[in-house]
Amino acid sequence: MIKIAIVNYPNALKSALYGLEELFLLANGIRSPQLLPSLNLAQNPLEPNDELASSASGSSSEDTAKPIFDVSLIDWSSKTASKPFGQVFDAIILPPSLGSDFYLANETASFNTLNLWLIEQHKQGAILSSACAGAFLLANTRLLDNRPVTTHWQLSQKLKTHCPKAKIEDDKILINDKDIITAGGLMAWLDLGLELVSVLTCPSLMRQLGKQLVVDTGHREQAYYQVFKPNKHSDQSVLACQHYIQQHHAKPIKVGDLTQLTHLTERTLLRRFQKHLQLSPSEYIQNTRIQSACDLLESSNLSVESIALKVGYLDTSAYRKAFNQKMGLSPSQFRQRFASKD
């Protein structure tokens, strides 16, 4: 069988722990004997009275497939819990977290043993994977250096500081880099679980599982769900520019307007924007306009053209292009997906 370890570390999201466990157990149940003939499966069949397995696979209890996944919940939240040293897993999952106490506290004995265990499992061929803040635990192994990785978009700046050599792509819901797979949002553990099913077995089983769960197994981007929230800082000149842009973004704004407001040179203003916001003034203005457009697309019945003018774009085609580049969807597609149905 394919051995999966789901790590229950301190503050790990419980719904993800048990949801992932049940996802793989469901995958065991829906597999028909004809679906994966090339897999070398264990000999112990599912229980004959497993109604879910029979109904989902369309098979009778006599020909129900043998289980594919052997799932273990590994308790790393307790000092006294036994650890799986000596076992080798095919894939290890680090779920999201509701707090940063553990994954940022790189001093505890429990933290250090988990770190060493992940490195050793990776050396022995295990796929290491994470969802949301679980990426910080992967980052601590240094295995993310010079590799593409995603996490929740609100944590991306913190992860960049924590692991500066990683190539963080926070617009992605999921990045499969073969032996390292990372997923973005708090609920992206579902995307991660489906991807592991596909990688460890075959895409057809993943699609069947998606239908059973009634979830979309198609391509998504985390950019669809991002909300533009500027970093907090104490630079009064940059804050003055931010307030000005927020109030006047529907009108033409030039960098010269901001230098006049702050009495700074253009070079100094650009440097301070990059330092505190990781954006140029022009990028900040565009992000503010796109966020305002998103709010209007979700909450109003205004046409796409009217919204473009209302948020500061005189050229509708330029607005559509900028929106698509930032959000990964056209304005119309965004409205269709996220607009209020009230």
304 in Cβ contact with 296 (< 8 Å): no
The pLDDT, as a whole number, for residue 211 is 85
Whether 324 and 330 have beta carbons less than 8 Å apart is answered as yes
Res 230: pLDDT: 75
Rounded mean pLDDT of the chain?
85
Task: Indicate the CATH number of 2-224 among 3.40.50.880, 3.30.70.100, 3.40.50.300, 3.40.190.10.
Answer: 3.40.50.880
Q: Which two tokens stand for residue 276?
A: 């505190």
Q: Is 251 left (phi over 0), alpha (psi -120 to 50) or beta?
A: beta
* pLDDT the model gives residue 86: 82
Contact predicate 246/288, CB 8 Å: yes
Q: Which of 233, 254, 339, 258 is nearest to 296 (CA)?
A: 339
Q: What are the residue boundaries of the structural domains of the chain, listed by start?
A: 2-224, 236-338
What's 279's DSSP letter?
Answer: S
Evaluate if residue 42 carries a pLDDT over 60: no
Instruction: Collapse the DSSP code of 133 into the 3-class scheme (helix H, G, I; strand E, B; otherwise coil) and give the result.
Output: coil
In this prediction, residue 103 carries a pLDDT of 83
| Per-residue pLDDT at 95 exceeds 70 | yes
pLDDT in tens, 178-191: 999 999 989 999 99
Asked if the domains 2-224 and 236-338 are classified in one and the same CATH topology, the answer is: no
**pLDDT tens-digit map of 186-241:** 999 999 999 999 999 888 888 889 888 888 777 676 666 666 667 778 899 999 99
Mean per-residue pLDDT for 17-29? 94
pLDDT at 57: 40
- Give, as one character, the DSSP assignment of residue 145: T
Q: Which tens digits make up the pLDDT trace of 112-137? A: 889 999 999 999 999 999 999 999 99
Alpha-carbon torsion (306, 309, 312, 313), positive or negative: positive
The dotted CATH code for 236-338 is 1.10.10.60
Rounded distance between C-alpha atoms, residue 263 and residue 257, angstroms: 10
